[in-house]
Each structure stands twice: as C-alpha cells, then as structure tokens.
C-alpha cells in the first residue's frame, strides 16, 4: 500500500500540523499539475485508457512525496525550482507502483473513492501503470541535459535500487497473503523495505540540492523512518474501516497491529472469529479495534515509535534552517498521533 493523503495526518497539534500540511501542498502543487499534464497530454487511441487517465488524475493529490523532495533540497541549501522536474518524475514513478499495487491487493476502493482497478479492471490498470512508468523514465532521461553526469548517475542509482527494493517488498508481501500466522517482525521488515521510496525521495532531493554524501545519507535515513511510521499509521487506520479490513483479510496481509495482537492466543481467537464473518459490521470493527489496541503486545510495539522519531531527528539535527527542522519534526511526530 502506498501513503495516504497528507491531509490524513491527525491534527491534534492544531495549527502547527495544519501549517506543515499547507507547506507540503505549496511545495508540491506545481509539480503535481505538471505530472497530470504529462499524462493527460499523452496520445492514446483507446478511449478507456484516456478515461482511466482522467479518473486517476482527478483523484491524484499526492503532496507528501514531492514535498519530501523539496524539503530535502532546501535542507542542503538547494534551488527549489531545479527540484520541480525531479518531483514530477518521482510523482509518476510512485503513481505507477500505486496503480500496480492496487491490482495486487485487489483494492477497488481507496479513501472512499473507486480506484482505477475498481472502475476499469485489471488489464486497463496495468496498462495505465505502465504508461506512468514509461513517462517517468522518459522524463528522467530528459533531465540529463539539466544536471551533471555525476548527479544523474547518483539519481539513477537511487531510483533503481530503492524502487527495486519496493518491488522486492511487494513480492515478499504477496507470499504472506492470507497467512494469519505471519510473524509481525517479518512484516515489519517488509514495511521497512517498502519505506525505501520515502528514503529515495529525500535522497534525490538532497542530490539535486548539491548535498554532501553525509547529507544524502542523513536525509535518506529520516525518510526511511518516516515511511515506516506512515506505513504503521495506514495499517492502524485500516483496522477502523470494515471494508478495507475485509479486503485485507482476503487479498493482503493483515494490518501489523493485528499481527502483534495475535501474539496473545485468546485475542487471536476472538479477533479471528470476527474477521471470519461474511460481512464485518461497524460493531464488529469496534470490537476488533478494542481487542487490538488494548493488547499489551500492541502497546509494547507502540512504545518503539518514539525511539524511531528520536533516531530520525538525530539524523537531521545538523540542518541549519531551524524552521525547516521544526516542520520535519512536526511531520514525523504527527504520523503517530492517535495511534
């Protein structure tokens, strides 16, 4: 699964987090419009493909991935305008994997709206995902005239290695479909691999900003941890949504907190009795939520979050722009509020 919209970050910190969200949107809006135009301007004879392009772009509001590229670029003192074409490429790459992921997971509805897979089916979704991927790689190739050979080699290496790691994570996850005895630590390891794309966005942003090798590593480490926490948050949210939970029971791995709750055999039996129903009611979902988040094993898992946040912020502590550093701290802390 890919990250939810930035606006899904909880707002218990009120105006501070809202300000960070607006900042991410401002950093991303131009690149997102350019990415949409790049897809919609593609010449395709198949009307259904064109309709699928329109459907995806209408609902496409990924602000966090391009926002991270911009943040990393600014963190090393780079020119944000130079980062925009790279943001476009990374948006298209992330969308391609998002589309293919929906086919793998059988996700017909996402965030209350039909996915391309849910509206147009598997074949069209795979072809649309291929189109996004081809467009991204073509645009990345065009950037070779704007950046040095050394910089482009570094970007290509990161894109190749990090997105290949994402594919590896997806393959490992597929092998665990329907496995109610899956190890939560193994699944956490898969989540860490899936967070490779967050690392990639931060690293690419730092490269475009002419950051040092240490800068690139430090910002990448922050991105990886942010990606893990975002993944945990998505899993936690899915437990509150009966339709999504039922889909995950059938087509995906169960959410990570449920797997930790399964360490208690009595909890496991009670939760499985509810998950095994043909239709999970809102009341059933509430019972599952209570059983999961009251489990000692889950509470112990949650205690690890603050350590990860601390590690992430230690990685970027030498950033001189204190306002930017504060935004990064609010962003990463905001992902684990109310979990």
Q: What are the structural domains, with CATH classification, of the chain? A: 6-254+303-334 (1.10.600.10)
Q: What is the pTM of this model?
A: 0.92
Q: Which helix (H) or strand (E) holds 194?
A: helix 184-194
Give pLDDT, residue 18.
Answer: 82
Give pLDDT, residue 14.
Answer: 56
- Tokens representing residue 108 in the block: 């017909």
Give pLDDT, residue 222.
Answer: 98
Give pLDDT, residue 247.
Answer: 83
d(CA 192, CA 97): 17
Closest CA to 326 of 39, 16, 52, 27: 16
Q: Compute mean pLDDT per 10 residues along the chain, 339 residues long, and list them.
A: 44 67 94 98 93 97 96 97 97 97 91 93 98 97 95 97 96 91 96 97 98 97 97 93 85 93 96 91 92 97 96 95 94 87
DSSP string, 99-141: HHHHHHHT--EETTEE-HHHHH-HHHHHHHHHHHHHHHHHHHH
Give pLDDT, residue 13.
Answer: 52
d(CA 100, CA 106): 10
């Amino acid at each position: 699964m890919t990250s939810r919209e930035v606006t899904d970050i909880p707002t218990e910190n009120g105006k501070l987090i809202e300000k960070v969200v607006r900042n991410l949107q401002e950093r991303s809006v131009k690149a997102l419009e350019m990415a949409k135009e790049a897809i919609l301007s593609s010449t395709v004879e198949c009307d259904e493909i064109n309709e699928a392009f329109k459907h995806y772009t209408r609902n496409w509001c990924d602000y966090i991935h391009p926002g991270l590229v911009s943040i990393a670029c600014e963190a090393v003192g780079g020119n944000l305008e130079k980062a925009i074409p790279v943001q476009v490429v990374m948006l298209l790459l992330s969308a391609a994997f998002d589309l293919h992921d929906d086919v793998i997971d059988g996700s017909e509805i996402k965030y209350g709206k039909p996915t391309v897979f849910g509206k147009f089916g598997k074949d069209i979704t795979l072809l649309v995902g291929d189109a996004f991927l081809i467009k991204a790689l073509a645009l990345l190739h065009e950037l070779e005239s704007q950046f040095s050979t050394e910089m482009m080699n570094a970007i290509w290496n990161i894109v190749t290695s990090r997105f290949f790691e994402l594919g590896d994570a997806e393959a490992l996850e597929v092998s665990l479909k329907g496995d109610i005895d899956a190890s939560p630590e193994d699944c956490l390891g898969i989540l860490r691999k899936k967070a490779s794309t967050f690392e990639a966005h931060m690293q690419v942003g730092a490269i475009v900003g002419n950051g040092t090798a240490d800068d690139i590593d430090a910002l990448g480490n922050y991105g990886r941890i942010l990606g893990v926490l975002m993944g945990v948050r998505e899993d936690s949210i899915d437990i509150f949504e009966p339709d999504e939970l039922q889909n995950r029971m059938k087509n995906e791995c169960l959410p990570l907190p449920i797997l930790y709750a399964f360490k208690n055999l009595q909890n496991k039996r009670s939760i499985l009795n509810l998950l095994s129903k043909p239709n999970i009611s809102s009341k059933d979902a509430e019972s599952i939520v209570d059983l999961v988040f009251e489990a000692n094993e889950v509470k112990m898992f949650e205690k690890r979050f603050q350590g990860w946040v601390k590690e992430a912020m230690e990685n970027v502590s030498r950033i001189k722009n204190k306002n930017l550093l504060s935004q990064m701290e609010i962003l990463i802390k905001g992902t684990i509020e109310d979990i």
